[in-house]
Chains A and B, each alone.
Chain A
Amino acid sequence: MQHYNMDLTLKVWRQQNRNAQGGFETYQVKDISSEMSFLEMIDVLNEKLIHEGGDPIAFDHDCREGICGTCSMVIDGRPHGPWKGTTTCQLHMRAFKNGETIVIEPFRANSFPVLKDLVVDRKAFDRIIQAGGFISVNTGNAVDGNAIPIDKDDADNSFAAASCIGCGACVAACKNSSAMLFVSAKVSHLALLPQGAPEKSTRVAAMVDQMDKEGFGSCTNTYACEAECPKEISVMNIARLNREYLASSFNADK
């Protein structure tokens, strides 16, 4: 792999706090190595800002290996940037060329208010899980792990849905700010397992209800979510949610 250095112009959204008016600021960074991660490039800029007596850019990040779902950012109009199936923290600078201008914004959605600069509040996702994204089993109540064999395909599909990292890029990608991909991934993860089946219909109804209460928009099947999801969660899950939801409304007064 050929490494190279680059100079870049960055247009970054700055906003002091939740209530302040935000706007773009322009920065120049020099000698950025193609081997750096995108966030390491921001680190370089922040070090420079601190050194010059300025205020560094606040952004969310923690694991920096694409699994915790903390990092966000919309990069050149795309949540998590240009690489398919990749979080912002796993995006590397070889994706960019010398002299480019990069526009960096927070995830935008009414249900994800900006807290500072690129940091948003995603607590709405936790509340959706509280509404029903679990299996009701207390510690100590379990039977042997092999007591109920699970069809391998079901287990694999459940796992694929469960690999959602709760980052919210699907919401940021959607013109309606719908959270359907996130919610459907959880509904599928649990509904596909025999352990999750008993609560299937109450779960889907409660989670969808909470999603609506949080103010996420409705799904109009544009599939922008699937295209931007860093874990490539499939829209098939949305179809499954819709089926489960329909079934649950028929069962409503069982």
Chain B
Amino acid sequence: MPDAKIPAGPLETKWTKYKSSVRLVNPSNKRKIEVIVVGTGLAGASAAASLGELGYKVKAFCYQDSPRRAHSIAAQGGINAAKNYQNDGDSVYRLFYDTIKGGDYRAREANVYRLAEVSNNIIDQCVAQGVPFAREYGGLLSNRSFGGTQVQRTFYAAGQTGQQLLIGAYQAMERQVALGTVEMFSRHEMLEVVVIDGKARGIITRDLVTGKVERHFGHAVLLCTGGYGNVFYLSTNAMGCNVTAAWKAHRQGAYFANPCFTQIHPTCIPVSGDHQSKLTLMSESLRNDGRIWVPKKQGDNRIATEIPEDERDYFLERRYPAFGNLVPRDVASRAAKERCDAGHGVGTSKQAVFLDFADAIQRYGKAEVSKRNLGQVDAVSVTQLGKEVIKEKYGNLFDMYEKITGENPYVVPMRIYPAVHYTMGGLWVDYELMTTVTGLYCLGEANFSEHGANRLGASALMQGLADGYFVIPYTIGNYLADEVGKSHISIDHPGFMEAEKKVSKHLAELMKINGKQSVESFHKRLGKIMWDKCGMARNAEGLKQAIQEIRALKKEFWSDLRIPGKIDEMNPELDKAGRVADFLELGELMCIDALERNESCGGHFREEYQTSEGEALRDDAGYMHVAQWEYFHDQWKLHKEPLNYEVVKPSQRSYK
């Protein structure tokens, strides 16, 4: 079993002690060391910038045309930190505790505590870079609430928090590009990790403009390549999000941890038809003010505004009075599915529930009247004032909703439904963020750590930036200290040549299939299997069927796929084909993992394991571990990292 390398000593001192005793690389040696960073989202851009500042020679890669377009850009709601600026009882411990509990006791205590500790530095760093966070009239930073917590610790920039944080990290990285410490390769896709004498020594990429396959050396390789939610075809991820980099690493010996832990986000715009290519999130922050409900009567076809108050079921407020609409995502999603399955869904598809702002508009309107001392004001003006407040808070989300659905959410409630959003699983890493391949690291959503079986809102941005700005700059030194003096390996080394040959062969094989069906059609079919059988609710029977169906689909893919165009040119269909080929393998592993985990926890809901009230029923005696999957020859072997809770006592999660 690989060692998680968790430092000894009390939880509160582990990271401080680690930092003061970790080995360092002196500045003149850093200049001789090359580090490859794949991915320029929050994790990758912050790592590349920070390592460049330290003096390492960094090469960074992304598949988009500019590093600023990584999917971190799409994060809407916010980023958590334990600043306690609101004086509402927050602390590092409370953020740590909420994250462990939110993750349904399937995350490592030491990692999560470190995350909570560095959260405050992240906010400071971002402010210094010029991230324009929302502020109060006094000029100080503003906070909002997110699900699964009872404090206000979420920092935000309207509904564009990810964009502003990423632009901050991107600019820091571009500054290093100008200084010559970072070299940027955009429109490049990593297709293989080069492992020489047991250590990661570089990568093979394909230039997505010319199609050229290239070799790149690095003393260490960092994968910061994001999540794999697109295995479901429809998700809130960008069209290009993929598992390819992580998957190639997995096939080279990096263990994949908890692949079945995926997050279904409760508030997304519902599917409108077969043409649907992606789903759009409506930020969790909307649950601060929006109330979720369905008609009490089954199959009620009246429009929302005609359904009287006493015929509405505010099911989250009813089931979870303590947290109400702000229960964690897994809980909210399942509750919505339960109501729709029971025949209370709304809209044409009946696969939707209402998210209603009418009350909030009235509440804010009245508050404005007294704030501005307006005295007697008619109802229309109160509503108008309330709408203005809502617009200031969520304007861009409301606009987005209207563009997509053609409905005005200031007037009629939004229709929302759960959708695939985030993947808690990923490459297994130790406390230093190193995978089971020496010298190969994994940061951000691509790794498995911190969020257990369910991630709390506004914690992914925090984790990505923690990994890149504040963790890897220390932990990588511990490895690179040994690499000082070791020379650069030529990219003509047989290890590189073989890896390149393997990639070229794989591409040629894809082109050679020359069948009839498009990549898209295979991806859609895979997505349907995953969503139906390995989605919001799973059971052993369905998972077994899914495994068979995916295997059959994979066979069909490799015998009937058609990719137009050529290898040595820009060819988006070929890019997609490589990604879908990897998703087909990942999908199978996800089902195997879900089948193996005979319990329900967080986002993993096995129908066989639930309480009489329909809540997730954990089995701590049998499953309080991280599932680590080792790959060989299209089969997997399971290893387990036991989770030891020294500080928090696991209990049945309750948000009632």
A39-77 at interface with B (beta carbon < 8 Å): 39-40, 43-44, 47, 49-51, 53-56, 58, 60-70
List of B residues within 8 angstroms of A60 by Cβ: 65
Contact of A134 among B127, B135, B163, B175 (CB under 8 A): B175
B403 touches A123 (CB 8 A): no
- What is the CA–CA distance of A17 and B281 in the complex, to the nearest angstrom? 35
B544-570 at interface with A (beta carbon < 8 Å): 562, 564-565, 569-570
B120-149 at interface with A (beta carbon < 8 Å): 121, 123-130, 132-141
B127 touches A195 (CB 8 A): yes
A145 touches B276 (CB 8 A): no
Number of chain A interface residues as a range: 35 or more
Q: What count of chain B residues pass the 8 Å CB interface test?
A: 82
Q: Most chain-A CB neighbours within 10 Å: which of B164, B273, B278, B281?
A: B278
A43 touches B171 (CB 8 A): no
A149 and B140 contact, Cβ closer than 8 Å, known pairs A69-B69, A92-B404, A135-B171: yes
Does B611 reach chain A (CB closer than 8 Å)?
Answer: no
B175 touches A136 (CB 8 A): yes
A68 and B174 contact, Cβ closer than 8 Å, known pairs A40-B277, A135-B130: no
- What is the CA–CA distance of A44 and B69 in the complex, to the nearest angstrom? 25
Which listed segment binds B: A30-38, A211-219, A235-243?
Answer: A30-38
List of B residues within 8 angstroms of A40 by Cβ: 275-277
Q: How far is the CB of A1 from chain B (nearest CB, A)?
A: 4
B179 closest partner in A (C-beta): A130
- What is the CA–CA distance of A152 and B142 in the complex, to the nearest angstrom? 11
List of B residues within 8 angstroms of A122 by Cβ: 65-66
A83 touches B403 (CB 8 A): yes
Q: How far is the CB of A248 from chain B (nearest CB, A)?
A: 18
B139 touches A163 (CB 8 A): no
List of B residues within 8 angstroms of A65 by Cβ: 74, 278, 280-281, 400
B403 closest partner in A (C-beta): A90
List of A residues within 8 angstroms of B272 by Cβ: 35
B164-184 at interface with A (beta carbon < 8 Å): 164, 167, 170-172, 174-175, 177-178, 184
Does B430 reach chain A (CB closer than 8 Å)?
Answer: no
B49 touches A139 (CB 8 A): yes
Q: How far is the CB of B114 from chain A (nearest CB, A)?
A: 16
- What is the CA–CA distance of A60 and B173 in the complex, to the nearest angstrom? 23
List of A residues within 8 angstroms of B129 by Cβ: 134-135, 137, 195
List of A residues within 8 angstroms of B277 by Cβ: 37, 39-40, 43, 64
B71 touches A68 (CB 8 A): yes
- What is the CA–CA distance of A60 and B240 in the complex, to the nearest angstrom? 11
- What is the CA–CA distance of A33 and B406 in the complex, to the nearest angstrom? 13
List of A residues within 8 angstroms of B238 by Cβ: 62-64, 68
Does B642 reach chain A (CB closer than 8 Å)?
Answer: no
Does B354 reach chain A (CB closer than 8 Å)?
Answer: no
Q: How far is the CB of B294 from chain A (nearest CB, A)?
A: 21
Q: How far is the CB of B516 from chain A (nearest CB, A)?
A: 8
B70 closest partner in A (C-beta): A68
B407 closest partner in A (C-beta): A1
- What is the CA–CA distance of A33 and B348 in the complex, to the nearest angstrom? 15
List of B residues within 8 angstroms of A67 by Cβ: 73-74, 160, 163
A195 touches B128 (CB 8 A): yes
Contact of B83 among A90, A145, A163 (CB under 8 A): A145
Q: Most chain-B CB neighbours within 10 Å: which of A56, A60, A67, A165?
A: A67
Does A8 reach chain B (CB closer than 8 Å)?
Answer: no
A54 touches B564 (CB 8 A): yes
Which listed segment binds B: A97-105, A113-121, A171-179?
Answer: A113-121
List of B residues within 8 angstroms of A119 by Cβ: 570
A115 and B209 contact, Cβ closer than 8 Å, known pairs A36-B275, A43-B520, A137-B129: yes
A189 and B132 contact, Cβ closer than 8 Å, known pairs A58-B572, A65-B74, A129-B174: yes
A135 closest partner in B (C-beta): B130
List of A residues within 8 angstroms of B136 by Cβ: 152
A189 touches B71 (CB 8 A): no
Contact of B128 among A36, A64, A141 (CB under 8 A): A141
- What is the CA–CA distance of A236 and B104 in the complex, to the nearest angstrom? 50
List of A residues within 8 angstroms of B174 by Cβ: 126, 129-130, 133-134
* A interface footprint on B58-75 (CB within 8 Å = 1, 0 otherwise): 000000111111010110
Interface of A is mostly: loop
List of B residues within 8 angstroms of A121 by Cβ: 65, 209
- What is the CA–CA distance of A148 and B135 in the complex, to the nearest angstrom? 12
Does A155 reach chain B (CB closer than 8 Å)?
Answer: yes
A1 touches B65 (CB 8 A): no
* A interface footprint on B292-313 (CB within 8 Å = 1, 0 otherwise): 0000000000000000000000
Does A143 reach chain B (CB closer than 8 Å)?
Answer: yes
Does B113 reach chain A (CB closer than 8 Å)?
Answer: no
B139 touches A33 (CB 8 A): no
* A interface footprint on B199-223 (CB within 8 Å = 1, 0 otherwise): 0000000000100000000000000
Does B267 reach chain A (CB closer than 8 Å)?
Answer: no
B126 closest partner in A (C-beta): A145
Does B470 reach chain A (CB closer than 8 Å)?
Answer: yes
- What is the CA–CA distance of A174 and B64 in the complex, to the nearest angstrom? 25
List of B residues within 8 angstroms of A55 by Cβ: 564-565
Q: How far is the CB of B228 from chain A (nearest CB, A)?
A: 16
A144-168 at interface with B (beta carbon < 8 Å): 144-146, 148-152, 155-156, 158-159, 162-163, 165-166
Contact of A145 among B69, B141, B469 (CB under 8 A): B141
A129 closest partner in B (C-beta): B174
List of B residues within 8 angstroms of A82 by Cβ: none
- What is the CA–CA distance of A196 and B128 in the complex, to the nearest angstrom? 8
Does A6 reach chain B (CB closer than 8 Å)?
Answer: no
A49 closest partner in B (C-beta): B564
Does B405 reach chain A (CB closer than 8 Å)?
Answer: yes
Does B343 reach chain A (CB closer than 8 Å)?
Answer: no
List of A residues within 8 angstroms of B123 by Cβ: 145
Residues of A in contact with B (beta carbons under 8 Å apart): 1, 16-17, 33, 35-37, 39-40, 43-44, 47, 49-51, 53-56, 58, 60-70, 83, 85-86, 90-92, 94, 115-116, 119, 121-123, 125-126, 129-131, 133-146, 148-152, 155-156, 158-159, 162-163, 165-166, 189-190, 193, 195-196
Closest 6 CB pairs of A and B: A149-B139, A142-B128, A134-B171, A142-B124, A159-B132, A1-B406
Taking A116-B570, A137-B129, A159-B164 as given, write out 16 further A-B residue pairs in contact, using a Cβ cutoff of 8 Å, ordered by the A residue number.
A33-B273, A33-B275, A36-B275, A44-B275, A47-B521, A50-B518, A62-B240, A68-B64, A70-B64, A115-B570, A131-B178, A134-B172, A139-B49, A139-B469, A139-B470, A159-B158
Residues of B in contact with A (beta carbons under 8 Å apart): 46, 49-50, 53, 64-69, 71, 73-74, 83, 85, 121, 123-130, 132-141, 157-158, 160, 163-164, 167, 170-172, 174-175, 177-178, 184, 186, 209, 238-240, 272-273, 275-278, 280-281, 399-400, 403-407, 469-470, 473, 516, 518, 520-521, 562, 564-565, 569-570, 572-573
